[in-house]
Amino acid sequence: MADVNCLIKKAKFNSAEFIAELGVGKNMLASMKHWAQACQIIEEHDASSFALTELAKKIFLHTGHDPYSEQATSTWLLHWNMARKSDRATTCYWLFNRINSGVFSKSELLQQLSSLCAEANKVVSRSSLTRDIDTIVRSYTPKSELTAIEDNADPVFGELGLINHLTTDHYSFNRGPKSSLNLPLFLYIVLDYWRASYTSDSTLSLDAIAYGEASPGRILKLDEDSIIAYLIEADDLTSGRIRWSDLAGIKQLSKQNFDVESVMIEMLRKAYE
């Protein structure tokens, strides 16, 4: 799909030849482009091309950590990338960052997103919002909880165990420990959040990690105990470059002087070992 320079011509996403090569319809091809951008797998390169992101190269190239996307680590990273930014996946961002209660309904979500569109002076039909909400919620609902009609395919993010189906319209978040989220991956995500939201700070509080906007705690649906269980091991895994402290009631991470990008690359490699 991509050339040797990891570029993809935009015209390919409207190409009959490409549709035949992949064996999908025109609408599915457009959907693939949208979700690849939302999950930060591809990004704008120039007027005629998309480029694979650096993370996509590290994971999905033939020489990458998980070229066939078989590991839960890759699914967690796609979820993290999609839910932490609101520009291309607003519904997903809102669901994981703005719904504060443990239980939510699709009708509640529809009302909130309709209000958001009105405040932003954007005209979006109710049916479009409803379809988007259905798509996102179904993508996270475990296969065992889907109806017989929907049971033909595994939902993309269902394996992460983030959302439970309660009734026709009601769902709950599964906040707590996540067995498939390993320590190196969690520290990679924390560092990604740290450099994006607190670039110049040498410390990062537990409150920020657990409850901050677009934080690991919110997006990964982890409680404080689960987060602390990861953070107390950060010192050993990073050889003291990242340290957890709980002194006088102040719970925080501190980092030494190091290149964040290089440590993130190291954590990413270890997450796939």
Domain-wise residue ranges, the chain: 7-52, 79-173, 183-271
* DSSP codes, 212-232: STT-HHHHHT--HHHHHHHHT
Q: What is the mean pLDDT of the chain?
A: 92
What is the average pLDDT across 10-23?
Answer: 85
> CATH 3.30.360.10: does it fit domain 183-271?
no
> Residue 153: what pLDDT?
65
Confidence of residue 4 (pLDDT cuts 50, 70, 90): low
pLDDT number for residue 152: 54
Please state, in angstroms and rounded to a whole number, the distance separating the CA atoms of residues 203 and 250. Answer: 11
Give the H/E segment covering residue 75: helix 72-83
Residues 41, 89: Cα–Cα separation, whole Å: 14
Range of weakest confidence among 75-89, 122-136, 153-167: 153-167
205-221 pLDDT, tens digit per residue, is: 999 999 999 999 999 99
The pLDDT of residue 256 is above 90: no
3-class DSSP state of 239: coil
Instruction: Give how far the C-alpha of residue 48 lies from the chain's centroid of Cα atoms, to the nearest Å.
Output: 27
Model confidence at 15, pLDDT cuts 50, 70, 90, reads confident
206: CB partners within 8 A, 6+ apart: 224, 227, 228, 231, 251, 252
What is the pLDDT, as a whole number, of residue 24?
Answer: 86
Mean pLDDT to the nearest integer, 43-66: 95
Contact 10, 50 (CB under 8 A): yes
Whole-angstrom Cα distance, residue 16 to residue 191? 42
Question: Please, what is the end-to-end C-alpha distance for the chain in angstroms?
Answer: 27
β 7-9/49-52 pair status: antiparallel
Q: Is 107 helix (H, G, I), strand (E, B) or coil?
A: helix
pLDDT of res. 87? 85
pLDDT (tens digit per residue) in 239-249: 999 999 999 88
